[in-house]
Amino acid sequence: MTPGDLILRNGTALLGDELRDEAFGSLVVRDGVITEVTSGHVPADGATELQLNGAFVLPGLIDCHVHFDLAAHPAPFRHWDRTPFVRSMTCFHNGLLALRAGITSVRDLGSVDRMTLNYAEQVNSGDLLGPRVVAAGRPITMTGGHCADYGRIADGPDDVRLAVRQQLAAGAGVVKLMATGGISSPGNPGAPQLGVAELAAGVEEAHNAGVLVAAHAHAPQGIANAIEAGVDTIEHAAFADDANHQQMIAAGVTLVPTVTALNPIADGIGIPVATVAKSLKARETYRANTAKAIAAGVRIAAGTDAGTAFNPIGGLLDELMMYVAGGMSTTEALRAATVTAGGLVRRAGDDGRVGVVAVGACADLLVTERDPRADLEVLRRPSRVVVGGRPVDLGWVGCTLDEITPVLIEPVS
Ligand SMILES: [Zn+2]
Spacing, Cα 395 to ligand 1 middle (Å): 30
Residue 352: pLDDT band with limits 50, 70, 90: confident
Average pLDDT over residues 246-268: 95
Spacing, Cα 146 to ligand 1 middle (Å): 11
Task: Name the percent of the chain in helix, strand, coil, to the closest 5.
Answer: 35, 20, 45
Spacing, Cα 128 to ligand 1 middle (Å): 24
Question: What pLDDT, on the 0 to 100 scale, is given for residue 346?
Answer: 78
Question: What pLDDT, on the 0 to 100 scale, is given for residue 63?
Answer: 98
Pair 58, 104: CB distance under 8 Å: no
CB contact set of 81 (below 8 Å; sequence gap of 6+): none
Question: What pLDDT, on the 0 to 100 scale, is given for residue 3?
Answer: 58
Question: What pLDDT, on the 0 to 100 scale, is given for residue 395?
Answer: 97
Residue 322: other Cβ atoms inside 10 A: 23
Read off the pLDDT of residues 139-186 as tens digits, 9 standing for 90 and up. Answer: 999 999 999 999 999 999 999 999 999 999 999 999 999 999 998 888
Average pLDDT over residues 201-217: 97
Read off the pLDDT of residues 45-84 as tens digits, 9 standing for 90 and up. Answer: 999 999 999 999 999 999 999 999 999 998 888 889 899 9
Domains and CATH numbers, the chain: 6-58+355-392 (2.30.40.10), 61-342 (3.20.20.140)
Read off the pLDDT of residues 224-238 as tens digits, 9 standing for 90 and up. Answer: 999 999 999 999 999
Distance of CA 302 to the CA centre of its chain: 7
CB contact set of 399 (below 8 Å; sequence gap of 6+): none
Read off the pLDDT of residues 355-401 as tens digits, 9 standing for 90 and up. Answer: 999 999 999 999 999 999 999 999 999 999 999 999 999 999 999 99
Question: What pLDDT, on the 0 to 100 scale, is given for residue 155?
Answer: 98
Spacing, Cα 202 to ligand 1 middle (Å): 18
- Calculate the average pLDDT of the chain: 95
Spacing, Cα 66 to ligand 1 middle (Å): 6
Question: What pLDDT, on the 0 to 100 scale, is given for residue 343?
Answer: 93
Question: What pLDDT, on the 0 to 100 scale, is given for residue 392?
Answer: 97
Query: What is the residue type of 220?
Result: P
pTM here? 0.97
Spacing, Cα 135 to ligand 1 middle (Å): 12
Residues 156-190: b if buried by 16+ CB within 10 A, e if exposed:
ebebbbbbbbebbeeebbbbbbbbbbbbbbebebb
Spacing, Cα 110 to ligand 1 middle (Å): 7
Residue 257: its H or E element: none
Nearest CA to 99 out of 252, 295, 314 is that of: 314
Residue 51: its H or E element: strand 48-51
Return d(Cα 107, Cα 136) in angstroms, integer.
8
Residue 340: other Cβ atoms inside 10 A: 20
Task: DSSP for 303-366, please give it.
Answer: ---BTBTT--TTTHHHHHHHHHHTT--HHHHHHHTTHHHHTTS--TT--S-SSS-STTSB--EE
Return d(Cα 140, Cα 163) in angstroms, integer.
7
Is the pLDDT assigned to residue 412 strictly greater than 60?
Answer: no
Half-sphere exposure (Cβ direction) of 83: Cα atoms closer than 13 Å: 8
Return d(Cα 379, Cα 214) in angstroms, integer.
27
Question: What pLDDT, on the 0 to 100 scale, is given for residue 2?
Answer: 62
Spacing, Cα 230 to ligand 1 middle (Å): 20
Read off the pLDDT of residues 16-39 as tens digits, 9 standing for 90 and up. Answer: 999 999 999 999 999 999 999 999
Return d(Cα 323, Cα 320) in angstroms, integer.
5
Q: Could you tell me the end-to-end alpha-carbon distance of the chain, in angstroms, rounded to an integer?
A: 56
Spacing, Cα 372 to ligand 1 middle (Å): 27
Is the pLDDT assigned to residue 1 strictly greater than 60?
Answer: no
